[in-house]
Structure 1
Amino acid sequence: MQIDDQDRRLLRQYQADPTQSATELAERAGMARATCWRRLERLQESGVIKGQTAVIDWRALGYGVEVSLRISLDKTVQNAFDIVMAKARDIPEVVEIQTFLGRVDLRLSVIARDMGHYQEIYRERILTLPHIADLEALMQIASIKSSESLPL
């Protein structure tokens, strides 16, 4: 889908605050409310805007540990990817799953209340995942930049 300067302006304002009213959004984007609404609908229908989500700070809910697990799978097993991803999706503390090409096949982002809780998750849920050839855990110390916003 081609987007023009008005779409970019609209998207900048929308991603800055998706909760604002259509009137506020139109005003900030410098266009008529009806035009703004039509463009917003077109961007949603075309899949440029996928939806709105609530961003919940899991640290505020008592989760103080985040670990990134790099996993290499046994590639001799047919459907290893699908099997491991399906099982990893069932672990509530796995908040992100990414796949890669190369030595590392998957990255799981795991949150836990504390190190004891992480150790329990690791032993009972992660180490029981099938077809793991290699696993490396990276403890997150700080998040320097985390943004879903695009440079429009």
Structure 2
Amino acid sequence: MSSIETGKHYNQPASNLTDKVPPVDTRKYFDAVTKSLSKAKEPPTAKDAVSSQPDGSSVKSYLHIITKYTSGMELLIKDKELGLDHVFEVNPKAAPLNMKDLIKYIGETHVLEGKQSAFTRDETICPGIMVIINECDWEVMDELDYVLKNDDTIEFISTLHGG
């Protein structure tokens, strides 16, 4: 009989197994993980914001936006992801980014070739697409004029599939 048939390796008490495993120094493990994570480069966010140089000039500012696509909208997106993270470099002296800018950007960079007309029309979202900004209908959030804020979550939901 093989060891699988007799189950001799699977029916041992847990105490017998732990006796054979050397103890783990969890502090060393935690320190090693923390050190490796601190070396990982994360994308900048608006929390990094604008900081001043000694000469008074400002450095880059960033805006982090999450977009989600559901109920069939994901079929229009190149990445085929239900959600995408976007980090935009923002000029603090320029006009703030709004939904109109975001829709144009998504239409030009993330919507499949030939499918743009199913996403945007006349610089706005096509009828049949519901837009949710931070869990609130964009119709009460100034629609195209809504100024994007750091860590906003924008959802695009096709109502043609029941929304």
TM, length-normalised to structure 1: 0.36
Higher helix share: 1
TM-score normalised by L of structure 2: 0.34
